[in-house]
Structure 1
């Protein structure tokens, strides 16, 4: 049954993630779905990073920023185009054999996280760079309700019920600060852009650093926007392919290692003592796909493939579907 649901989903969505700004839609809703059963090669799984579901409200504002927005969320200069965001997301990680009701020491822990985000993406059209700063706060473990979510949806589509959630990582708070710097490297041809970026993460959820390159080829508007709105939104139809090679170093990941309170949980301490696998600190990956934008709406599909996160578990691929819906056509001057 899950194969049928996947086939219908992929037939309806044949597009890829778009990080591009929409300057003439100052309020937008973003629907975001990761699932490792989404796979363009027909090799879907249900293990590792199994699912991530989220929704975000993106907006520009006329009022000057105060408190966190002013002091923690970085801007790319006084004339930057600033897009703020509030989001809510749930993610879950499971071992390969979810029908096994016993602890599997050579695989991933069961882990779930539920968290909110507040961030700012600030674009500098003249110097062609952007800054994305984000504050994350939420919970890890049973409080995140990942067991209930996965059990419900598997029952809904008639798929195998997960049996090992009693072995999930314990409850813990998640607080993180993430920062990304992105700059244009090459755009001498109108149909091709190459960008480079660095992402830094620190907190009780995950800590590490990543280096990425973003390549897109096709028909599109300027990635970093333009102070002239007519230039920034000249193309009402956009279609392009993307590739995003990346290299990451992870110092800590609560979903793979347990949260900051794991030493207080005697049951988890016993599981950890029997664990045979361990988190890989270095990984490489490649995201690729295709994106379509019509007027102010975009729909996207990206296949995200990475080397193993945990030793002995093998490489992993997750499909992503993102829908960006405009809910306002008003154009404002950012402050």
Structure 2
């Protein structure tokens, strides 16, 4: 339980920080145990803070400015910066085997820091997100002790194969995403409830992953903006507006999505570049996700040092990500986000 105590202590310390210029602070936990499995992408934890203050330095401002001129957001308004730290881990289907498993997903971990800059187009119809991420893989990611401690505390099988994980390296990733409102497919559903449709594309390049993605998101709720950032940044609140579900103390938004990705490289499947001693499998170059999420806001929970709390639940259904002589099933992951808005 000390692990969860530490996680809670970190999150509460974030809440205790001054709220000036902050939009949100939240923690997200993803795990496949919600669907009675313990394999593949099996766990992720991320702490995030969003700041409304444009505190970019000269170098970052020049880099984001050049990127915006290239991707069509040079006339967009700065929306916010998001700072995140987190850890991801992947394992094969059977973690009780100590020997190498050449036809199953390798053990791998990533301990990372990420910064995102979001820009809102004039008219509010498009959001562009620029992101940079750097992290440590291998034993430096601390994924092995984290999983072993979790399994010890909750009396689960001990993972035996971490001696055969993707090795140590400093890995990086830069990405750009453009999310645009599809007004022709948006409108009123019933009463004040609206359906908003948005399409998105994303390009990512780096030694963590390289891919191109595209997809569509359906958002159902009240008083929705034309387009919102990707969850958990669902902007479902307008000052003074009614976004309640059945009661005034509860606001809710439903999000459904689909995304397809063309994968060029994935360190979690293929190992480090030019490292033949890393475990790896043959990746599938086309991968797809279906997602369903529900966000609940509690407007009456605003406190002296923080804004109202929100909770978001999300389920992700992912197609098989690699090829093997045996059947590789699809995979489902559950996601829980707990946070505050200012």
How many residues are paired up? Answer: 288
Where does residue 158 of structure 1 map in the other structure?
155
Cα distance between partner residues in 2 of 1:301 and 1:223: 22
> Partner residue of 1:298?
310
Which has the higher mean CA deviation after the structures are superposed, 235-244 or 84-93?
235-244
1:165-219 Cα distance to aligned partner (Å, 9 max, x none): 0010111211110110000003232510000000111010000011110001233
Secondary structure of 1:197's aligned partner: strand
Residue 28 of structure 1 pairs with residue 24 of structure 2? yes
**Change beyond 3 A, Cα 1:193–1:147:** same
Q: Does structure 2 conserve the Cα–Cα contact (< 8 Å) formed by 1:140 and 1:259?
A: no
Partner of 1:14: none
Flag structure 2 segments of 5+ consecutive residues without an equivalent: 1-19, 229-236, 245-250, 300-307
TM-score by length of 1: 0.79
- Most deviating of 216-225 and 203-212: 216-225
Whole-angstrom CA distance in 2 between matches of 1:316 and 1:323: 24
SS of the residue aligned with 2:340?
strand
Is the 2:51–2:81 Cα contact (8 Å) retained in structure 1?
Answer: yes
* Deviates further, 285-294 or 52-61: 285-294
Partner of residue 170, structure 1: 167
Structure-2 change in CA distance of 1:209 and 1:72 (3 Å): same
Which among 87, 98, 101 is matched to residue 101 of structure 1?
98
Equivalent-residue separation in structure 1 for 2:21 and 2:195 (angstroms):
25
Aligned to 1:202: 205
Deviations 1:137-190 (A, max 9, x none): 111111101001000111111111100000101112111101100000032325
Alignment of 1:80-119 (within 5 A): 80-119=77-116
User: Is the partner of 1:262 in helix, strand or coil?
Assistant: coil
8 A contact 2:223–2:241 mirrored in 1: no
Helix, strand or coil at the partner of 2:33:
coil
Map residues 224-243 of structure 1 onto 2, 5 A cutoff.
224=227, 231=238, 234-235=241-242, 237=244, 238-243=251-256
Provide, for residues 57-107 of structure 1, a one-character-per-residue CA deviation record: whole Å limited to 9, x for no partner. Answer: 110115565321442375645562511011111100000111111112221
Aligned pairs (5 A) from 1:284-295:
284-295=288-299
Q: Which runs of 5+ in 1 are unaligned?
A: 1-23, 330-335
CA distance, structure 2, for counterparts of residue 27 and residue 287 of structure 1: 25
1:51 & 1:61 partners in 2: Cα distance? 32
Deviations 1:105-126 (A, max 9, x none): 2210001111100111222361
Of structures 1 and 2, the one scoring higher in RCO (CA 8 A, sep 6+) is 1
User: Is 1:124–1:224's contact at 8 Å kept on the other side of the alignment?
Assistant: no
Residue 307 (structure 1) aligns with: 319
| Contact 2:217–2:255 (8 Å) recurs in 1 | yes
Q: For residue 283 of structure 1, what is the aligned residue in structure 2?
A: 287
What is the CA–CA distance in structure 1 between the aligned matches of 2:57 and 2:218, rounded to whole Å? Answer: 33
Q: Distance in 2 between matches of 1:231 and 1:293?
A: 13
Q: Are residues 234 and 109 of structure 1, via their aligned partners in 2, closer, same or farther at CA, if it must alter by over 3 Å?
A: same
Contact 1:239 / 1:290 at 8 angstroms: preserved in 2? Answer: yes
TM-score, with structure 2 as normaliser: 0.78
Report SS of the residue matched to 2:322.
coil
Distance 2:45 2:55 in 1: 31
- Which sits farther off after the overlay, 205-214 or 79-88? 79-88
